Amino acid sequence: MKDAAIGIFDSGVGGLTVLRALAERLPGESFLYLGDTARLPYGTKSAETVSRYAVQAAAALVKRRVKLLVIACNTASAVALPALQAAFADIPVIGVVAPGAQAAVEAAPDGPIAVIATEGTVRGGAYARAIHARAPHIEVLQQACPLFVPLAEEGLTDGDLAAAVARHYLEQMRKAAPKCLVLGCTHFPALKAVIASAMGPGVALVDSAATTAMAVERQLKSSGALRDGGAPAIQFLVTDAPDRFARVSRIFLGAPVDPGAVEPIDLQ
């Protein structure tokens, strides 16, 4: 299975920030990315619905022979990881929450730690649980920032509008003086500059995409599954609107995607 691709899925395009981090850290690996664009966003849906969607998306990737699954969606990582690990016991499954929580504790071992995410991720409290599992004494502050997702997808990642929204969400959190802020949604790295400005100096930002890439590298090394050579490839699958996916992908991937290279599929 060394030559098999790493499977990545997200509710849409935000998970491309995870793909970008993975491709930069593991340039010899191949990747198969699935965006469930027909059913996004996951962040406002029930845990039961998200778990069902996540298992269906993962099954589509497994059918195409992947050696590892990455849940590049914070909401799915927060609620569907146990279901995915049970359904695909023969394949390592890595979410973005645990690596992000570990990096946050390392950055601010005495806290406080702030987490910004979608409504679903904040409501589920997955980051708080993961942080407290590592450091029970740390105070965790959480804030849902739902408008960050459409801002990122429209490319409105800087300027007065993005700055105003960031201040609106983060003003109270800034007053609490956290030492670290977790970007708990894969869309949010696109807004890192305005988020950092709204929080002020001295707050370490943890990007779950980068920390997840490190976790994947450790897993592949420990299992002897790193690819030995050959020409790596990246394939894209979506459940709706391949043209829009290709157009918006540049914001998160940092490079254009050929619309003809995006394959539409149905999930059952």
Query: What's the pLDDT tens digit per position in 166-211?
Result: 999 999 999 999 999 999 998 999 999 999 999 999 999 999 888 9
CA–centroid distance for 60 within its chain: 19
Domain residue extents for the chain: 5-95+210-264, 98-208
Strand partners, 116: 143, 183
Active site residue 145: no
Residue 214 and residue 168: Cα distance in Å, rounded? 32
93 φ, ψ to 5°? -120, 120
pLDDT range class, residue 249, cuts 50, 70, 90: very high
The structure tokens 């504790």 sit at 105
Residues 123-141: pLDDT tens digits?
889 999 999 999 999 999 9
pLDDT range class, residue 232, cuts 50, 70, 90: confident
Return the higher-pLDDT residue of 57 and 44.
57
Q: At what angle do helices 16-25 and 242-253 cross, to 10 degrees?
A: 50
Q: Which of 21, 23, 73, 166 is catalytic?
A: 73
Terminal CA-CA length for the chain: 26
Query: Fold for domain 98-208?
Result: Rossmann fold (3.40.50)
Q: Which of 5, 34, 126, 185 is catalytic?
A: 185
Active site residue 73: yes
Strand partners, 143: 116
Kindly state the tokens that stand for 42: 């996951």
Q: Tell me the average pLDDT of the chain.
A: 93
pLDDT at 41: 84
> Residue 100 gets which letter from DSSP?
H
Does pTM surpass 0.85? yes
Helices (H), the chain: 16-25, 47-62, 74-87, 97-107, 119-124, 126-134, 148-153, 159-175, 192-199, 208-223, 242-253
Residues 51-103: pLDDT tens digits?
999 999 999 999 999 999 999 998 899 889 999 999 999 999 999 999 999 99
CATH topology match: 5-95+210-264 vs 98-208 = yes
Per-residue pLDDT at 33 exceeds 80 = yes
Burial 247-265 (b: 16+ CB within 10 A, else e): ebbebbbeeebeeeebeeb
pLDDT at 184: 92
What mean pLDDT do residues 15-35 have?
Answer: 95
Q: Would you state the CATH architecture of domain 5-95+210-264?
A: 3-Layer(aba) Sandwich (3.40)
Residues 236-248: pLDDT tens digits?
999 999 999 999 9
